[in-house]
Structures are given as structure tokens and as C-alpha cells.
């Protein structure tokens, strides 16, 4: 039975990846940072019907000693580094913490793998945010980076350290440059989930408006369930490498909101109000990925359309709110 260790196991991708690996017959271990809200930590795993099937290991990405101990104990074949302070807007408010977790945390894990489990295959959750102020209209593995937030700068450090450990120490370390991916398990602070939850609440009479930031930003949005497959595929390759994972289609936040509200028969323009509190000190205006390398080398392509995904998310939020109202 292959063994996998996932950091960020309580997050959106950690849940979908755990499900994928369990379905493939893996023994799955998750790095769990201690929280006072212990009763809700496996909420996402429960949603996917896999609560209790991931073995939780007490540790933290910023505590190298915990990573060494866990790797010694787990002896994983594959390590997926999904743990991060992942909310871009918060990274301006907590730039140092973002650097410690998202940048140095990845370095801690690479170092622990090098020292304790050098044969393990390593996946780094790199991000399209690294392109930032874009240098080319369609971004591929060859497009230069220009990060625009403390989060993106931290991810870029982690990305290059992954490349560096591969080239310096021969680690089987790959970087997945994933464009935005969403699902019913997306954190409520991210724009798609905020909109699908808002549309559901307004439809059910639980809210009357939705306050939003920049509606003109464009993103290449896919489904997390599809994207975790690409992570796994990267680690099955003989050689480690970096891959863009995207749909190849970009739409505005406005268009995404139109789809979400439209699904419940509402016009978003009647309910969405601008609030400067949700604007960012520096914006990434548009992202559009070129997934042709992932398609050619991994045989991966996105399966779920934006419309299908947003519909699934709105339905999930309606379900949650109706359950609470009962
Ligand atoms: P989430 O924000 O849903 O999950 C982040 C995870 O990181 C949580 O499990 C969180 O734990 C954990 N974490 C935070 N700080 C620490 C720490 N100090 N030590 C250990 N774990 C920690 O992110 P996603 O699932 O959406 O994304 C997964 C990864 O992929 C992230 O690294 C993200 O930056 C990256 N990424 C995401 C994209 C997307 O569109 N979703 C696109 C490109 C990259 P806790 O529950 O305790 O907070
Ligand atoms: P992003 O995701 O910053 O791309 O990072 P987010 O959903 O937060 O923002 C996307 C775009 O929507 C605009 N926007 C708003 N965003 C939020 N959160 N709330 C609002 O009210 C709002 N109004 C407009 C933003 O300005 C932005 O342009 C995500 C994270 O998952 C990262 O961890 C990951 O690396 C990247 O995707 C790829």
C-alpha cells in the first residue's frame, strides 16, 4: 500500500486529494496543526465521506522538528505540500507570517524530505499568482513571473526552492503551477464561494445584498476535484518537472456572479454592491493559463466547466443554509 503525507489536509485541496488517494488504495497521512476548534477540523473530509480515514499527525510547517519526526514515522512514498497561508488579501496584513508558512514552510519540508526521506516524491502547490503583473497574454511554464502580493512572493520562493532541491540534490520534486480552482469546499472568503453563498442566502431571504471588490478581475477557474488529479499524475512521472494546470478560459468576476445568481433566477446587478474594503493594494487583473504541457505529458485536462462548477457550488450552499434553517 503506497503511503502519502499531505500538508494542508484540512483545506479544500487536501480534502479532494485525500479522497483521490484513498480511492486509489493509498494510506493517507495528514499534517494537522493544533487548533482550539478541534470539532470542525474534519468538516471537509466529512463532506466527501472520508472522515476518520486520514491519519492525522500533529505538526506545523513552521516547526522543522515536527516535520522531521513525522517523516521518520510515516516514511511516505509521496509528499504533497498544500499547506499555506493561502488567502492573497490577508498576505498584506500578515506578510511575515505568510513568508514563514508559505515560503519557509515549504523550505522546511523540502529540507526534512532531503534529510529523512530523500526517496519520497514531492509536490509543491505553486500558483498562477506568481505571474502577477502578466508578461504574456497566455501564461505557460516559460512565462516570466512578476508577483504582486506578499503571498505571490512567498509562493515564488517556494517554487524556486523546489526547482533548486530537484537540481541540487536530485529530489523527485515537482511544482504544479495551478490556476484558481474552486468547489463547494472552497473557503468562504474566496470570491467564487463568497458569491455562491451570497446568491444562496439572498435567494432564501437570509440576506439582501452582497458587498464585493473588483468585479472586473479575470480568472481562469477550474474545479478542485479535477486539479488534484494533475497533482497525483505529476508524481507518477519518471522525471520531476513543473506544469501549468488550467482550463484555458478566463472570465470576469462579474460574469461568474451572473452565472451564480442566474442559477437561482436572480439578477446579480440588483444585489451586488461595491465596497472598497474588498479592493487590494495591488491587483492581478487577468490570468489565463496554457495547459498544453500537462495535456501532452500527463494526459490531463480539465473536465468540469465553469457553469457546471458554479451550479454545483450554489446548490451546495442552498443545501447548507436550508439544513441550518430546519
Ligand atoms: P486552503 O486555504 O483551503 O488550505 C490551506 C491549508 O494549509 C489548510 O489545511 C491549513 O490548515 C494549512 N495551513 C495553514 N498554515 C499552516 C501551517 N503553519 N502549518 C501547516 N498547515 C498549515 O487552500 P487550498 O486547499 O485552496 O490550496 C491548497 C494549496 O494550493 C495552498 O498552498 C494554496 O496556496 C495553493 N494554491 C491554491 C489554488 C486554488 O485556487 N485553490 C491555486 C494555486 C495554488 P488550517 O485548516 O489549520 O488552517
Ligand atoms: P485569488 O482568489 O486572489 O485569485 O487567489 P480570490 O478568490 O480571493 O480573488 C479572485 C479575484 O476576485 C477579486 N474580488 C474579490 N475577491 C475576494 N476574495 N472577495 C471579494 O469580495 C472580491 N471582489 C472581487 C479579487 O480582487 C481577485 O482579483 C486564489 C487563492 O486560492 C490563492 O491561494 C491561489 O494561489 C490563487 O487563487 C491562484
Q: Please check whether residue 229 lies inside any domain of the structure.
A: yes
In this predicted structure, what is the pLDDT of residue 71? 98
The pLDDT of 54-71, averaged and rounded, is: 98
List the domain range (segments joined by +) for residue 126.
Answer: 3-181+222-245
Q: Please check whether residue 294 lies inside any domain of the structure.
A: no
Report the percentage of the chain scoring pLDDT > 90. 97
Same domain as 268, residue 144: no
Q: Has residue 123 got a pLDDT over 80?
A: yes
For residue 120, report the distance from its CA to the centre of ligand 2, in Å: 32
Same domain as 175, residue 72: yes
What is the number of the ligand 1 atom nearest to the C-alpha of 62? 18
For residue 131, report the distance from its CA to the centre of ligand 1, in Å: 19
Q: Is 239 exposed, middle or buried (0-12, 13-18, 19+ CB in 10 A)?
A: exposed
In this predicted structure, what is the pLDDT of residue 253? 98
Q: How far apart are CA 203 and CA 160, in angstroms?
A: 45
Same domain as 226, residue 272: no
Is 165 known to be catalytic? no
CATH number at residue 241: 3.40.50.720
Is 151 known to be catalytic? yes
Q: Please check whether residue 300 lies inside any domain of the structure.
A: no
Report whether 128 contacts 288 (CB < 8 A): no
- DSSP conformational letter for 103: I
The pLDDT of 124-136, averaged and rounded, is: 97
Same domain as 96, residue 234: yes
Mutate to test the pocket of ligand 1, among 5, 6, 7, 8 (most ligand atoms within 8 A of CB): 8
Strand (E) or helix (H) holding 141: none
Same domain as 151, residue 40: yes
Q: Please check whether residue 193 lies inside any domain of the structure.
A: yes
Same domain as 113, residue 141: yes
Q: Which ligand is nearest to the CA of 84?
A: 1
Q: Please check whether residue 296 lies inside any domain of the structure.
A: no
Ligand 2 within 6 A of CB of 257: no
Longest dimension (CA), the chain: 58
* Active-site choice (78, 129, 182, 312): 129
Report whether 48 contacts 19 (CB < 8 A): yes
Same domain as 10, residue 96: yes
Same domain as 206, residue 92: no
In this predicted structure, what is the pLDDT of residue 39? 73
Q: Please check whether residue 295 lies inside any domain of the structure.
A: no
Report whether 215 contacts 194 (CB < 8 A): no
Q: Has residue 38 got a pLDDT over 90?
A: no
Q: Please check whether residue 81 lies inside any domain of the structure.
A: yes
Confidence of residue 59 (pLDDT cuts 50, 70, 90): very high
Q: Has residue 36 got a pLDDT over 90?
A: no
Report whether 183 contacts 224 (CB < 8 A): yes
CATH number at residue 268: 3.90.25.10
- DSSP conformational letter for 75: -
Strand (E) or helix (H) holding 318: helix 306-325
Same domain as 25, residue 149: yes
Same domain as 40, residue 28: yes
- The binding-site residues of ligand 1, defined as CB within 6 angstroms of any ligand atom, are 7-14, 31, 33, 35, 60-62, 82-86, 101, 105, 125, 127, 178, 180-181, 187
C-alpha closest to that of 133 among 215, 217, 190 = 217
Q: How far is CA 18 from CA 32, 51, 207, 233, in A?
A: 13, 10, 34, 14
* Active-site choice (26, 80, 131, 151): 151
Confidence of residue 309 (pLDDT cuts 50, 70, 90): very high
Is 66 known to be catalytic? no
Would you say how long the chain is, in residues? Answer: 326
In this predicted structure, what is the pLDDT of residue 303? 98
Q: Which residue has the cell 500527463?
A: 298
pTM for this structure? 0.98
For the stretch 180-222, pLDDT in tens is: 999 999 999 999 999 999 999 999 999 999 999 999 999 999 9
For residue 188, report the distance from its CA to the centre of ligand 1, in Å: 13
| Pairing, β 218-219 against β 251-252 | antiparallel
- Name residue 243's beta-bridge partners: 176
Work out the angle at residue 215's Cα, subtended by the Cα atoms of residues 212 and 221, and round it to the nearest 5 degrees: 105
Q: Please check whether residue 111 lies inside any domain of the structure.
A: yes
Same domain as 19, residue 114: yes
What is the number of the ligand 2 atom nearest to the C-alpha of 212? 21
Q: Has residue 99 got a pLDDT over 80?
A: yes
The pLDDT of 131-155, averaged and rounded, is: 97
The pLDDT of 137-148, averaged and rounded, is: 98
In this predicted structure, what is the pLDDT of residue 277? 98
The pLDDT of 11-35, averaged and rounded, is: 97
Three-state DSSP at 32 gives strand
In this predicted structure, what is the pLDDT of residue 319? 98
In this predicted structure, what is the pLDDT of residue 41? 81
- DSSP conformational letter for 195: H
In this predicted structure, what is the pLDDT of residue 110? 98
Q: Has residue 111 got a pLDDT over 80?
A: yes
Question: Cell numbers at residue 111, please?
Answer: 529540507
For the stretch 236-264, pLDDT in tens is: 999 999 999 999 999 999 999 999 999 99
| Pairing, β 272-274 against β 210-212 | parallel
For the stretch 69-78, pLDDT in tens is: 999 999 999 9
Q: Give me the number of domains the chain comprises.
A: 2
Mutate to test the pocket of ligand 1, among 82, 230, 244, 313 (most ligand atoms within 8 A of CB): 82
Same domain as 203, residue 140: no
In this predicted structure, what is the pLDDT of residue 194? 98
Amino acid at each position: 500500500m503506497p503511503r502519502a503525507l499531505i500538508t494542508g489536509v484540512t483545506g479544500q485541496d487536501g480534502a479532494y486529494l485525500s479522497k483521490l488517494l484513498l480511492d486509489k488504495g493509498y494510506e493517507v497521512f495528514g499534517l494537522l496543526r493544533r487548533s482550539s476548534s478541534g470539532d470542525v477540523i474534519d468538516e471537509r473530509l466529512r463532506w466527501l465521506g472520508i472522515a476518520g480515514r486520514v491519519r492525522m499527525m500533529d505538526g506545523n510547517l513552521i516547526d522543522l522538528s515536527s516535520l522531521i519526526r513525522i517523516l521518520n514515522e510515516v516514511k511516505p512514498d509521496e509528499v504533497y505540500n498544500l499547506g499555506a497561508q493561502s488567502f492573497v488579501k490577508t498576505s498584506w496584513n500578515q506578510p511575515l507570517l505568510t513568508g514563514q508558512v508559505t515560503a519557509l514552510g515549504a523550505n522546511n519540508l523540502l529540507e526534512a524530505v532531503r534529510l529523512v526521506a530523500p526517496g519520497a516524491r514531492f509536490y509543491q502547490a505553486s500558483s498562477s499568482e506568481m505571474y502577477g503583473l502578466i508578461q504574456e497574454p497566455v501564461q505557460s511554464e516559460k512565462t516570466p513571473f512578476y508577483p504582486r502580493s506578499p503571498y505571490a512572493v512567498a509562493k515564488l520562493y517556494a517554487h524556486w526552492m523546489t526547482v533548486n532541491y530537484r537540481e541540487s540534490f536530485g529530489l523527485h520534486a515537482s511544482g504544479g503551477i495551478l490556476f484558481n480552482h474552486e468547489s463547494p469546499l472552497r473557503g468562504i472568503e474566496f470570491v467564487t464561494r463568497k458569491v455562491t453563498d451570497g446568491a444562496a442566502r439572498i435567494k432564501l431571504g437570509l440576506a439582501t445584498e452582497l458587498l464585493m471588490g473588483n468585479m472586473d478581475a479575470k480568472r481562469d477557474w477550474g474545479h478542485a476535484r479535477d486539479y488534484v488529479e494533475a497533482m497525483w499524475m505529476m508524481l507518477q512521472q519518471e522525471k520531476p518537472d513543473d506544469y501549468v494546470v488550467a482550463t484555458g478560459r478566463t472570465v470576469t468576476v462579474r460574469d461568474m456572479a451572473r452565472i451564480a445568481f442566474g442559477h437561482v433566477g436572480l439578477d446579480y446587478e440588483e444585489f451586488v454592491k461595491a465596497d472598497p474594503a474588498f479592493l487590494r493594494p495591488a491587483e492581478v487583473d487577468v490570468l489565463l493559463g496554457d495547459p498544453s504541457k500537462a495535456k501532452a505529458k500527463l494526459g490531463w485536462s480539465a473536465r468540469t466547466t465553469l457553469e457546471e462548477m458554479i451550479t454545483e457550488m450554489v446548490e451546495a450552499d442552498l443545501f447548507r443554509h436550508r439544513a441550518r434553517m430546519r
